[in-house]
Structure 1
Amino acid sequence: MPHSIQSHLRLRILHDQHIAFGPGKAELLEAIQRTGSISQAAKSMNMSYRRAWQLVDTMNQCFASALVETQTGGTHGGGAIVSPLGQQILQSFRAIEHLAQQSIQHQLAQIGQHLKD
C-alpha cells in the first residue's frame, strides 16, 4: 500500500536582510482583511499587537507603497485595510505557493515509496 506523505513548503521573499513577505505575513493580511483591524487580526492569530505591527511595518517598508493602510482612532476607533497593492501581493504569493506545491508532487510521491511501513 502506498504511503501517505505530506510536504510543508515555506516560501519567503527576502529584501535585503528582511523577510518582505512570507506565510505569516500572508496570514496576517488575510486576518486584517477579515477584521478591518491590526489589533483584531493579531488577536485572531494569538499574536501580540506589537508583533503584528512589526510585521506590518516591515512589509510597508519593503514595498514601494504600503500593503496595509491604517486610520487613527476617533469616535469610532481606528482601523486598517489591505491596500490594492497588498491584495495583489497576497494573491500572487498564494498563487506561487500553489504552483510550488503542485510542482513537487511527483518527486514527493517517489520519496514516499521508500518510507518504512
Structure 2
Amino acid sequence: MSLETEIGVALSDTRIRLLEEIGRKGSINQAAKAVPLSYKAAWDAIDTLNNLAPEPLVVRVTGGRQGGGTELTEYGRNMVAMYRALEIEYQAALDRLSARLDEAGGCDVSGFRRLMRRMSMKTSARNQFAGVITGLRDGGVDYEVRVRIDERTEIAAIITRSSAENLALAIGKEVFALVKSSSVLLAIDPALRLSARNQLWGEVAVVHEGPVNNEVTLVLPSGRSLTAVVTHDSCRALGIAPGVAAAAIFKASSVILGAAE
C-alpha cells in the first residue's frame, strides 16, 4: 500500500517501517538495518518526507549519553498511526470490492492497481519540495514564479509563458518544485554577492564523500533539507563539513515546476 498526494507517492510501507523503527530505536542507522535499507537511502527517504510534509516527521537530536540520534516528531507519530489505520480500512475495502467483482463476473483488480502505480509520477531530481504559489510576474515570454515551501523560505522559478498556462498557475495553487543536486552551488561567505535568485542558508548535516564529487546535504532552519553535488576539492577549499553554515545557491531557471490536473 502507498498513500499518494496530488504530486505522486508520498508514503510507502517501506518508509512507514523506517519511521516506526526510528521511533523504536532513536537511531537512523539501526532503523535502516532493521527495514532493511542502506544508511544513505534511509536519509534520502527522510529528507524527501520532511520536504514534502507541512511539518518535519523526523528531527536530528544532539546530546545525551549516546551523543545524539534521530526521533519522530509528534506529527511523524500521527502520520504513522494514520497510515496504519488507513491500511486496515484499505484492505477491508479491497476485499469487499474483489468479492463484488467476483459476483459480477470477475475483474483484474491487481492489473488495475499496477496501472495506477505506473501512472504515479517519479523523478530523479534529488531536491523535491511541495509549496504554494505566492507570486506570479509576467515577463512577456516567461513567468517568474515564487513558491513558498515553508514559513521562512520561498523559491523563485522562471518558466516559459506556455508552461505557466499549461500548468494553470495561480496564486495559492499547490505545486511541486524540483531542483537537481548538480544545479546547486555552495557558499560559506554571507558577504558574497551573486545574481542567482535562490540563496538558501542552512547548516551542513551530512557529507557523503566520493572519489571525485561529494554529496552535501544542508538542513534549513525549518527542518527542510537541500542536497548539492560538488567536487571533493571544492568541499575541501570551502571547509564544508557537518555543522558548518552554508548557502545552497541555484538559479531560478534551474527550478522545474509541476502541478496536478
Normalising by structure 1, we get a TM-score of: 0.75
The answer for the alignment partner of 2:77 in structure 1 is: 87
- Alignment check: 8 A CA contact 1:12 1:23 kept: no
Greater C-alpha Rg: 2
Q: Matched residues in 2 for 1:99 and 1:81: separation?
A: 28
The answer for the alignment partner of 1:26 in structure 2 is: 16
- Alignment check: 8 A CA contact 2:56 2:76 kept: yes
- Alignment check: 8 A CA contact 2:2 2:10 kept: no
The answer for the alignment partner of 2:31 in structure 1 is: 41
Shift of 1:24: 1.3
Say if 2:57 is the partner of 1:70. no
The answer for the alignment partner of 1:51 in structure 2 is: 41
The answer for the alignment partner of 1:97 in structure 2 is: 87
Percent identity between the aligned chains?
33
Q: Which has the higher helix share?
A: 1
Shift of 1:14: 3.1
Cα RMSD (Å) = 2.4
* Cα deviations by residue, 1:48-100 (Å, 9 ceiling, x for unpaired): 10000000000100111110011247772321111000011111111111111
Shift of 1:107: 3.3
Q: Matched residues in 1 for 2:41 and 2:6: separation?
A: 19
Normalising by structure 2, we get a TM-score of: 0.36
Q: Which runs of 4+ in 1 moved over 3 A?
A: 72-75
Query: Structure 1 residues 48, 69: CA separation in 2 closer, same or farther (over 3 Å shift)?
Result: same
Shift of 1:104: 1.9
- Give the length in aligned residue pairs: 104
- Alignment check: 8 A CA contact 1:66 1:83 kept: yes
The answer for the alignment partner of 2:5 in structure 1 is: 14
Q: Which has the higher strand share?
A: 2
Higher relative contact order (CA 8 A, sep 6+): 1
Shift of 1:105: 1.6
In structure 1, the gaps of 5 or more residues are: 1-9
